[in-house]
Structure 1
Amino acid sequence: MSVQAGRPVRVAVLGCGSVGSQVVRLLRDQADDLAARVGAPVELVGVAVRRLDAPREVEVPAGLLTTDAESLVTREDVDVVVEVIGGIEPARSLILAALEGGASVVSANKALLAEDGPTLYEAAAKAGRDLHYEAAVAGAIPILRPLRESLAGDNVTRVLGIVNGTTNFILDKMDSSGAGFTEALEEAQELGYAEADPTADVEGFDAASKAAILASLAFHTRVTAADVHREGISEVSAADVASARDMGAVVKLLAICELIDTPDGQAVAARVHPAMIPRSHPLASVREAYNAVFTESEAAGQLMFYGPGAGGAPTASAVLGDLVTVARNRLAGIRGAGESAYADREVLPMGQTRTRYHVAIDVEDRAGVLASVALAFAEHDVSIQTVRQEGRGDEAQLVVVSHRASDAQLSATVEHLRGMDIVRDVTSVMRVEGEPE
């Protein structure tokens, strides 16, 4: 059902934190432009908050504030609900109530979409309403719409991205200054790039949610956060970063989603982990808290999307872009594209994914050590690309970079090395990306 001619498109906002407050500001400051772009005035009719007296970045008229979010989203006159409160509940229940009540929804909730997106898609389809969520991945960077629409006539084969600004800032600081992880994290917290509890960022949970959303859209297959192999950056050392520098590489936390050929056809693999990439790769130049997503497809080739991946105003920009699209659809009485999961491909476990390893091994300084280490790799059918020896005596170390093999083969090789008498310790294991097989 379309909005009646002559009346405004009415919007309710859930949450008034850093993103919600900027959504409210943009709705107010750009009211005339939004009306021209949508084809009707866009009217803010309510903002649901936890506390009416909490300090806010922008002033919101008291008459618009409410603590009764459920009543707000189920009002008969609300056309679009903007959800920017985050988390699983009550966000899921409120979105479902909004859709059932006849409103379309714009969300920035990556965690909910990655955990239970199909439930939301099915509710939107049943209600004949839109569910848009560009702001859920990479802030202001338009990446979901290109995957869903601009590349709809192409076959996307790989999506490789830096999708968490906190971890990129930390790793960039470690690379540029030689700082350790703890020191770089403390600076990120002082500057406001990292939360007091940075677990979701530094352990890869945030990036894994975004990877699930990217893989689902790129490969037309339902992928949840639980399907994404996840490793964070808390174990990345200054020595790892220095070793990457020595081989002309840089360490980044990457979200990698790709199609892999199997005997039964193509399958999806999705993973998040720190990796060394050549400094010549476009993603290597992404500095500080910026994000970038690199896509590969059969016809378009390689594309890169770059920009601020977080922050109230940048994320609000993506929210408003979705809002304009959804509002136009309401005026026209139509619904945009919904979930596309027709391919229904298998999601492979990490062990079947092909990758490369950089392995630093403290070894005994005696004849035959290199041959024994090479044999351990060969026994697991892993080919060595490069090897170099550093130090002598108690500081003797081998640094090995492998060719591509399954992650299971590489993991087994590392466990084999740890059990060898000539190996004092395997001090570092990191994957290597960005080069062809």
Structure 2
Amino acid sequence: MLTTYEEAVEWIHSRLRLGIKPGLLRMEWMMERLGNPEKKLRTIHVGGTNGKGSTVTFLRCILEEAGCSVGTFTSPYLEHFNERISMSGKPCGDSEIVKLVNVIRPLADELEKTELGGPTEFEVITAMSMYYFAFMSPVDVVIYEVGLGGRFDSTNIIHPLLSIITSIGRDHTAILGDTYGEIAFEKAGIIKDGVSIISGASQEEALAVIRKTAEDKKAPLYTAGGQFRAIEHTPLENGGRFTFSSIFKEYHGLEIGMIGKHQAENAALAVMACHILSANFSLPIEERNIRAGLLRASWPGRFEILSAHPLVVIDGAHNEEGIKALVSTLQDQYPGRKKTIMFAALKDKKFEKMIRDLDAAADRLVFTSFDFPRAASAEDLSEASISASKLTASDWRAGISDELKRIETDGMFVVTGSLYFLSVVKPYIQEVLNQRKEIL
């Protein structure tokens, strides 16, 4: 039996050696041994390429404003492992992680001896979350974020009240496929018989697949640009304002505390979800709950402003669509600012197109790397750039310290790319900025 939090997390991370093993048989085996906790939960399932975490947060905050207790299962974490299993936005405790590992570990050892093989890290954490919300910390609703794809994702053993597919983009193509249609097919795997599905997908190729799956499953489908939409988006200093228009209701002047037009679109998914939950499951969600929840919602690492003076932003844009959203936000929100952008990525990403978009957006472009097995080198990233103002930083800490000193009054520093990179960068930037304040 493990006794410390450090031992528990080390054991969980040791499962990374098993890589990604698509399929639900190991999850079903563990759930049966645990007394089928997934069947005791009222859940909402959120899949898609980008915007999952933000949509989960918007929806959580609205439901909380309506008086619901809400659990969330998200990935990856940005600063603390416990973030992945949270209740009311607060990560579960270290002691609870230890208890959960001691429940799941014997099952993992037993499963290892079967023809199914041992569970992966993500399967272990998913099982931990379901046991936690069913038996240790029951809540009214749990929102589950898909880890990868959808059809064979370990979260797909739930039968939710409602499913949401945020956007479809080209990410994890080696596993999910190269085309929008192929990727949409995997994402649409979360659609269940008769369960309403909300989609934010914009490509017709992807929408066609989602429509066909919904039709086959007799699942009512609501699409962005069809049955609902976010319109009249206006950038604000620390967020945005938009109008939500749907076949049910229209709300003018909704405000969000997250920056970017894409965040208004994510918020619209959450608002549409609330209409369906209210209509189909009698959840008492009122307009005031929607307005308050949207304004309160924040999601670390998504165009997060770490400092206003100097202006320092981190954003976990790690695929083509994410970078496009970042560039669009920079153009809309800060058209007159001189922009220095630092970028780090994983080598299994198709980063060439991302870098070309950054070339056009940055006045100064810094490529770096970090201590992670799959991290691309700064030199490889730089070779993909045609910017005349590019440079490499072999040591990202030194690079960040240098760039923070260089920021001018009309400038800004943006650190973007892999979320794994941002998880180590954020506390370092905060430390440097705090030291500067103390000196001043």
Larger % of helix: which? 2
Q: TM-score, normalised by structure 2?
A: 0.28
**Which is higher, the Rg of structure 1 or of structure 2?**
1
Name the structure with the higher strand share.
Answer: 1
Q: TM-score, normalised by structure 1?
A: 0.28
